[in-house]
Amino acid sequence: MINVRVRCRIPVVLFTFAAAAVRADDSVVNSKHDLSARGPGTIRAHDETQVCVFCHTPHNAVPQTPLWNRHTPTTHYRVYESSTLDARVDQPSGPSKMCLSCHDGSLALGALLSEPVMHPVLTTPRTIPPGPSDLTGDLSDDHPIGFRYDRALAFADRELRVPELLSRELPLGKHNEVHCTTCHDPHNNSLGAFLRVTDRRGAVCLTCHDPDGWQGSSHERSHARTTGRGVDPREELKYHTVADNACLNCHKIHGATERERLLRFRQEEANCLNCHDGSIAGTNILADIRKSSAHEVFLRAGVHDPAENAATARRHVECTDCHNPHAVRPTGPTTILGSRGFLTSPASLHVRGVDRHGAEVSDAQYSYEVCFKCHADNASRRRGGIARQVHQNNTRIEFETNNPSFHPVIGPRRNSDVVSLMPPLRTGSLITCTDCHNSNNARAAGGNGPNGPHGSIYEPMLIANYDTRDFTSESADAYALCYRCHDRASILGNESFSLHQQHVVKVRAPCSACHDAHGVSGFGTRGGNHGSLINFDLSIVQPVDSPAVDRIEYDDTGRMEGNCTLRCHSVNHIRFPYSQ
């Protein structure tokens, strides 16, 4: 008895004509999806010469289009999750499940419905090998699929385009679902990765995503070269410049190391510092962060979350606390004191913040709102500092314009007593936190480093030296921070206070012995008026050594007039007067 095995074949001649009519990779023939024995890749059949049979068959197909020739995987997938995801992601279905019948690695590539179960088409290897094409049963590190993309989703996430504006080149499912086939055309690999739209300059991503501030941003426009730089140990960047790589600089659509938000690196700051270490970006942020006083992005990992509550978040700092990488713009070569007022820096556009009243805002409009996220009401904000009569480390409260005195960060000063201001500063000028807290070699300080409070050799992250030790010898360097705004000759010439030179030069008392740089809160004030930022350093100034006058007090009695009651350098002052 002769056992004859009959195989149903689709005529090969049809594909021979197709291959001659188009360029390689414009069709399945000669693409990576050509698993026939004549296919170009390392994954192919031993002797099967048909091309389409690995997906389609005219007979015995599953009861759904398009004449599907493969078994449906029974895998229960781990799907993408994120604290900032507004869509409901379900298990893959429809066309996505068809793709996964090969790409989850669970089924043999030659296990076809048109073939007997015991006699599959033999391929080398048997299943899709480990690597970028093997998505496995864990889809949490891949762009989400299996969710409805409708107007409700676009309304919930304002950085998504409404479905009606999407290009027809990216088709959704029959119920507006996003599938693998939304971005990939399995029959056409002319753009690489079977993409329907090129990923150059982020075109395929930007068809659906509309990040605030992307157009015209530094990353959208940068022509810095990335050629040959392997920012990912498993994958080099695809294109030659930052602008051409666009989204790919930081994100991986499949197989992302950091699942949430599909980032290339699990360590948050590494996604920024692999370029901003002086190798690609024009300035070396990493060098500043490694200075003795810095925003310590390496200190904590896995704490930051874009959806975190500013008041209750655990103490940490990451680049994206202050910068939106989609919207960041260059700050310019220099920053003139008082020239920007309090508007948000171009480097911090479209960043969440906390306003002067303590309320969270989704898009900070003022520079101080970015700082207030961590340095205001947050319960784990940095403590310590100089012990003062009125001790307060909530900067939002320190800068309030109804305080007895304050540096003009939230709003302008109400008087013209500060006669030592140097142009362009004048009465009514506003300053920013970064006028004082900045890199010591920032361009704003006359150096060649990056602007911004990344790190400094001067504690606490100051743009210039500010010595707060008692018995400091006065010099332009000792109080360089103060002398950036206040004319040294005016201060030592006693133009605003008749005893400035006596205190600073002869007695060698530091500026900080009397003045509190941020401001003096109106809550719980005691011991005088606290005008002119007077809030004594209790390690230098003590109460008068007398039971009858046991107190520390500054009394403002008029314009540039007042008296002090205190003990300093073992000398008692009891209503000691001064005036101009």
pLDDT in tens, 288-346: 999 999 999 999 999 999 999 999 999 999 999 999 999 999 876 655 566 555 688 89
Could you tell me which residues are beta bridge partners of residue 519?
A: 406
Is 90 exceeded by the pLDDT of residue 283?
no
Burial category of 48 from C-beta neighbours within 10 Å (exposed 0-12, middle 13-18, buried 19 and up): buried
Query: Do the strands 455-456 and 405-406 form a parallel or antiparallel pair, or are they unpaired?
Result: unpaired
Sign of CA dihedral 96, 97, 101, 107: positive
Residue with tokens 């119920």: 175
pLDDT of residue 12: 35
Integer Cα distance of 276 and 223 in angstroms: 14
Q: Could you give the dihedral angle defined by the CA atoms of residues 250, 255, 256 and 261, in that order, rounded to the nearest 10 degrees?
A: 100
The confidence score (pLDDT) of residue 220 equals 97
- The region of weakest confidence among 179-183, 463-467, 508-512, 553-557 is 553-557
Q: Which residues are bridge partners to 360 per DSSP?
A: 354
pLDDT in tens, 461-490: 999 999 999 999 999 999 999 999 999 999
In degrees, rounded to 5, the angle at the alpha carbon of residue 44 between the alpha carbons of residues 41 and 49 is: 115
Query: Of 257, 236, 234, which is closest to residue 245 (Cα–Cα)?
Result: 236
Strand partners, 458: 462
Instruction: For 57-74, write each residue's pLDDT tens digit.
Output: 998 888 877 899 999 999
Nearest by Cα to 127 from 102, 148, 145: 102
In total, the chain counts a number of residues equal to 580
| Cis upstream peptide for 130 (omega within 30°) | no
Q: Which residue has the higher pLDDT, 38 or 22?
A: 38
Higher pLDDT pick, 233 / 295:
295
Extract the tokens encoding 488: 């040294």
Diameter over CA atoms, the chain: 125
pLDDT band at 221 (very low <50, low <70, confident <90, very high): very high
Give the whole-angstrom CA distance, residue 348 versus residue 463.
19
* Whole-angstrom distance, CA of residue 113 vs CA of residue 109: 11
pTM of the model: 0.89
Mean pLDDT over 21-26 rounds to 56
Kindly report the three-state secondary structure assignment for every residue of 342-366: CECCHHHCCCCEECCCCCEECCCCE
Lowest average pLDDT, out of 282-286, 293-297, 368-372, 488-492, goes to 282-286
Q: What is the 3-state secondary structure (H, E, C) of 470-516?
A: CCCCCCCCCCCCHHHCECHHHHHCCCCCCCHHHHHHHCCCCHHHCEC
Point out which residues pair with 235 in neighbouring strands: 232
Whole-number pLDDT of residue 548: 82
Spell out the SS3 assignment of 560-578: CEEEEEEEECCEEEEEEEE
Between 391 and 343, where is the model more confident?
Answer: 391
SS3 533: helix
- pLDDT given at position 525: 55
pLDDT > 90: what percent of the chain?
77
pLDDT (mean) for 507-517:
97
Return the higher-pLDDT residue of 173 and 384.
173
* Cα(232)–Cα(257) distance, integer angstroms: 9
Would you say 436 and 335 are in contact if contact means Cβ atoms under 8 Å apart? no
> What pLDDT is stored for residue 18 in this prediction?
37
Distance CA 440, CA 488 (A): 20
Confidence of residue 8 (pLDDT cuts 50, 70, 90): very low
Task: Tell me the pLDDT tens digit for each residue of 179-212.
Answer: 999 999 999 999 999 999 999 999 999 999 999 9
